[in-house]
Structure 1
Amino acid sequence: MARNQDFLIPFLDDIYLGMDIQTLKERVFGRKKGKPIRAFQQSLLDTLLPQLSVPHEKLLKEKALLPAALFDKPYEKYFMEIGYGAGEHLAYRTEEHPTFGYIGAEIFLNGTAALLKHIKDRTTYNLRLHNGDALSVLKALQDNSLDGIYILNPDPWPKRRHFDRRMVNKNNMEIFVRVLKPDGFLMMTTDVADLADWMGKHAEAHPQLVEATNPKNRAQMPENWRETRYEAWGKSEGRTQVYMVFTKKT
């Protein structure tokens, strides 16, 4: 997902932005739109996005929503990606696992347009999208309703006065754990050393989480992992990408 504008990269430009959401009214830190939307992208936003969007009325009541209620057929498992950026990971997951249902949340409109371009030629869609507040979806979900959560390369908010804007924090960690099923996982990645330490410590501090990855070798890419362009670019710049997976105790 999303990076502070100090970290923007050439090929994705303004797709990535920082986010931390406070209310259902979409009060966010960061921008919602970057470069002008092209006509083709706008056509996808106008036609395909409404078919895949999480209905607003589903988010009005806290702890009442089952993921299955968002789809037109049941799936074996349900996952959520918080801040899907340009959508590469979510597009890959949904194609590789057609029997699983995926929910994606991204505040940045350009990112959603990029994801729609990835999936536009499919005949069926095992994903639902929320172009807005990820916490609005999470707060609406019932307890123990997700099999996994992905938070991939979130905005590092490097300035200390902005640490409370980081997606991974004590309050949000409680929400993540609440909606995860027993044995469900929380996967977090970053190439910012300070943020890696921050996210790892917040997960380690939660009594219901246990690390599934080797804490001494978090730079090991998971098996069958599809590297995104952002990851590859960061590595080419000399940064170390880390991958952390924590599971909820049964």
Structure 2
Amino acid sequence: MQNDMPKITGEKRQAEEGQMEARLPQKKYFRQRAHANVFSDHHLDYPISPAHMDWSKNFPNHFAPKEGAAVDGAVVKDSGKKVEFADIGCGYGGLLVALSTVFPETLMLGMEIRVKVEEYVNQKILALRKNHPGSYDNISILRMNAMKFLPNFFEKHQLSKMFFLFPDPHFKKRKHKARIITPTLLSEYAYVLRPGGIIYTISDVKDLHLWMVKHLDAHPLFVRIPDEELADDPAVEHVRNATEEGQKVERNKGDKYLACYRRINDE
């Protein structure tokens, strides 16, 4: 007698038992233009102040929901931690993933203005958390415009590291005002970065590198870190090679211009 019961494959059985690994998203489904107009109205959500930010959506293991609701039936208490690393224009999240296991006790946030890229990184982080329980819960991403709303998210002296990796060069002179490193923006970065904190910049465009160095050198609250001192910084290797753009430059045997600056104490 023929058995009419549907055949249960090993794959289906694993899925039913909750054992199947989450598939990582594929970049080919999340591609979009390399850069976005930072001066446009992108209809972004942002808190009116850092105190109003609900971080539980990004770091559910570290923050209780603002309204005090339970998560998966359990009451979650704040861990007492705050976001310390910010990757500005984080792209496809390579640096976040790389640093997550290097600094497992540190909360890190990527900030990306492009919708599809933010969706990709978010799905990747969720898949990594599912596939590696207890890991990657210290990284997350927000869709936002750091040039406009950074102080809405971070308190004074909250951050210990900020990353500006292969930013948009904005080659045309009339577009230089859109560059991520400017005297005005550096004062905002100095506000959210604690004394002793570090700004990491890297570019394969020498003109942009010199632009960033010029403005950082001129700012009274930043001092350049000597290259020999950077050799002991575990983040530097990943700054050079963890991002999609950095890997592309490596494949093309291009140059990478690195400059890192420490936030000095102004009190």
Normalised by the size of structure 1, how large is the TM-score?
A: 0.71
Is the contact made by 1:168 and 1:202 (CA closer than 8 Å) also made in structure 2?
Answer: yes
CA-atom RMSD in angstroms: 3.3
- Residue 227 of structure 2 is aligned to residue 237 of structure 1: no
Counterpart-to-counterpart distance in 2, 1:67 and 1:179: 15
Pick aligned residue for 2:128 from 121, 124, 128: 121
CA positional deviation for 1:240? 0.7
* Cα deviation digits, residues 28-50 of structure 1 (max 9, x gap): 9xxxxxxxxxxxxxxxxxxxxxx
Greater mean alpha carbon deviation, residues 204-213 or residues 87-96:
87-96
Q: Report which of the two structures shows the higher radius of gyration computed on alpha carbons.
A: 2
CA positional deviation for 1:223? 4.9
User: CA distance change for structure 1 residues 17 and 221 in 2, over 3 Å: closer, same or farther?
Assistant: farther
Written as runs of structure 1 = structure 2, the 5 A alignment for 1:1-250 is 14=32, 16-21=34-39, 26=42, 56=46, 59-61=47-49, 64-65=50-51, 71-72=62-63, 73-75=79-81, 78-119=84-125, 120-122=127-129, 123=133, 125-140=137-152, 141-214=154-227, 223=234, 225-226=237-238, 227=241, 228-250=243-265
Counterpart-to-counterpart distance in 2, 1:19 and 1:212: 32
Is the contact made by 1:186 and 1:245 (CA closer than 8 Å) also made in structure 2?
Answer: yes
Counterpart-to-counterpart distance in 2, 1:69 and 1:149: 19
User: CA distance change for structure 1 residues 239 and 66 in 2, over 3 Å: closer, same or farther?
Assistant: farther
The percentage of aligned residue pairs carrying the same residue is 19
Q: 1:20 corresponds to which letter in structure 2?
A: V
* Cα deviation digits, residues 7-59 of structure 1 (max 9, x gap): xxx9x95363245357xx5379xxxxxxxxxxxxxxxxxxxxxxxxxx73xx2
Is the contact made by 2:92 and 2:244 (CA closer than 8 Å) also made in structure 1?
Answer: no
Across the two proteins, how many residue pairs are aligned to each other? 207
CA positional deviation for 1:205? 0.6
Is the contact made by 2:223 and 2:262 (CA closer than 8 Å) also made in structure 1?
Answer: yes
Is the contact made by 2:87 and 2:111 (CA closer than 8 Å) also made in structure 1?
Answer: yes
Q: 1:111 corresponds to which letter in structure 2?
A: V
User: CA distance change for structure 1 residues 66 and 214 in 2, over 3 Å: closer, same or farther?
Assistant: farther
CA positional deviation for 1:138? 1.5
Greater mean alpha carbon deviation, residues 118-127 or residues 69-78:
69-78
Greater mean alpha carbon deviation, residues 191-200 or residues 84-93:
84-93
User: CA distance change for structure 1 residues 105 and 229 in 2, over 3 Å: closer, same or farther?
Assistant: closer
User: CA distance change for structure 1 residues 92 and 213 in 2, over 3 Å: closer, same or farther?
Assistant: same
User: CA distance change for structure 1 residues 242 and 68 in 2, over 3 Å: closer, same or farther?
Assistant: farther
Counterpart-to-counterpart distance in 1, 2:257 and 2:52: 31
Counterpart-to-counterpart distance in 1, 2:113 and 2:216: 24
Is the contact made by 1:77 and 1:147 (CA closer than 8 Å) also made in structure 2?
Answer: no
CA positional deviation for 1:238? 3.9
CA positional deviation for 1:142? 1.9
User: Which residue matches 2:10?
Assistant: none
Query: 2:226 aligns to what SS in structure 1?
Result: coil
Normalised by the size of structure 2, how large is the TM-score?
A: 0.66
**Gaps in structure 1 of 5+ consecutive residues:** 1-9, 29-54
